[in-house]
Structure 1
Amino acid sequence: MKNNFNFIAPVYDALAKLVFGNKLKRAQCHFLHLISQDSNVLILGGGTGWLLDEIFKTGFRGSVTYVEASTKMIKMTEKRLQPSWNVSLICGDEKAIPKEFYDVIITNFFLDVFSSDKLKDIMATLSDRLSHRGLWFCTDFRHTNRLKHKLIIWSMLQFFRLTTQLEAGQLLDFAFYFKALPLHCIEHSTFSNGLIFSSVYQKQPSEQEF
């Protein structure tokens, strides 16, 4: 099974912290304050679920649909849930996403597991599921000219191919794929000297709204 993170699920967060410190978490939390408190949120590939804690800390009182393909990641997320949270956990891939509209979509370190052709289809589907003026949050890695960063990206690809049967053969330029969608980047920041980015895209209104 490709993109299967069950094997490394128990140590995933620890490995991320060992290599990057708190930079990955800081990047993912950077724009959470932009989420309206009553939003309908879709999180894809959420991992162990720590991001839910950070979202609800902001005073969020909306609903979250949490889609994660790893059964072990889902079990770890389930242990974090609080009675007051409105969270639906779905163990499955992108095909398991409910057919409804979302005010917010979060794809942190999710898009980087796919090949180019599949990425186009997945992003187009997600764009269709985003409400007009809805927000799409994306945090991931990006290419830079630094040799150190090139080595880090190469090493990560080799590691995840070995441990998860990673589908992606290379790190793609996600900004390029976002440009093909009816979205506008409203926020963007980089971390770790440009290796990590966090962006927020907004769905553009339809012509009928003008």
Structure 2
Amino acid sequence: MKNNFNLIAPVYDGLAKVVFGKKLKQIQTHFLPVIPENANVLIMGGGTGWIINELFNTGFKGKLTYVEASEKMISLSKKNGSFNDSVHFIHGEESALPTERKYDVIITNFFLDVFSEARLDEVMVQLSERLNNDGIWICSDFQNTGRFSHQLLLWLMFKFFRVTAKLESRSLMNFEHKFKKIGHSKSENFTLMNGLIFSSVYTSEQSL
């Protein structure tokens, strides 16, 4: 199975902290305060679930759908989180989403980088169809900066995850180009580590 993070789920957050310190969490939580209080939120590839508490700590009172392909990540999320029945867990991929439901906010944190280019295009189209016209899409991920140290780190990470998680992706995509391709424009942007990691807010051009 491609993109299977079961093997490293128990140590995933620890590894991230060793390599990046608090930077990955800082980048992923930066735009949580812009999420409307009563929004219907979708998080794709939520990992170990620490972000659930961070979201509710902002005063969020809406509904959250949490989709994760790794059953071990789902299990950790349920153990780590303190939340109520407003959180709906789905073990699966975007195809497992209820077909009739749309969302005010979609969050993809270090999720889009696991796919091959053809699969990425397919996933982004499917997700964009689930976003309300006036909704926002928050994406946090890595980006190419041209710096040798960044290129080396990215190469090592892709190699590591290809071995441990059978990562489908072979290289980092230009996510901004991919968002433009599906009709979404960047409205806000935040970067850390000299631009290596970013978080951006995208809106549909239909809402402009």
| Short-chain TM bin | over 0.9
1:46 equivalent to 2:46? Answer yes
Instruction: Report Cα offsets for 1:110-153 as digits up to 9, x if no partner.
Output: 00000001101110111111001101000000001111000000
The 2-side partners of 1:83 and 1:4 are apart by 26
The one-letter amino acid paired with 2:13 is D
What's 1:201 paired with? 202
What's 2:12 paired with? 12
Contact 1:133–1:204 under 8 Å retained in 2: no
Report the Cα offset of residue 204 of structure 1.
Answer: 3.1
Contact 2:183–2:205 under 8 Å retained in 1: yes
1:148 equivalent to 2:176? Answer no
Q: How does 1:18-57 map to 2 (within 5 A)?
A: 18-57=18-57
Contact 1:27–1:197 under 8 Å retained in 2: yes
The 2-side partners of 1:170 and 1:193 are apart by 20
The one-letter amino acid paired with 2:127 is L
What's 2:165 paired with? 164
The 1-side partners of 2:13 and 2:81 are apart by 18
What is the DSSP-based 3-state SS (H/G/I as helix, E as strand, rest coil) of the residue aligned with 1:193? coil
The 1-side partners of 2:13 and 2:82 are apart by 20
- Give the TM-score taking structure 2 as reference length: 0.96
Q: How does 1:1-210 map to 2 (within 5 A)?
A: 1-84=1-84, 86-99=86-99, 100-205=101-206
Aligned alpha-carbon RMSD (Å): 1.2
The 2-side partners of 1:145 and 1:56 are apart by 37
Contact 1:61–1:85 under 8 Å retained in 2: no
The one-letter amino acid paired with 1:150 is Q
What is the aligned-residue identity percentage? Answer: 54
Contiguous gaps of at least 5 residues in structure 1: none
Contiguous gaps of at least 5 residues in structure 2: none
Report the Cα offset of residue 82 of structure 1.
Answer: 2.9
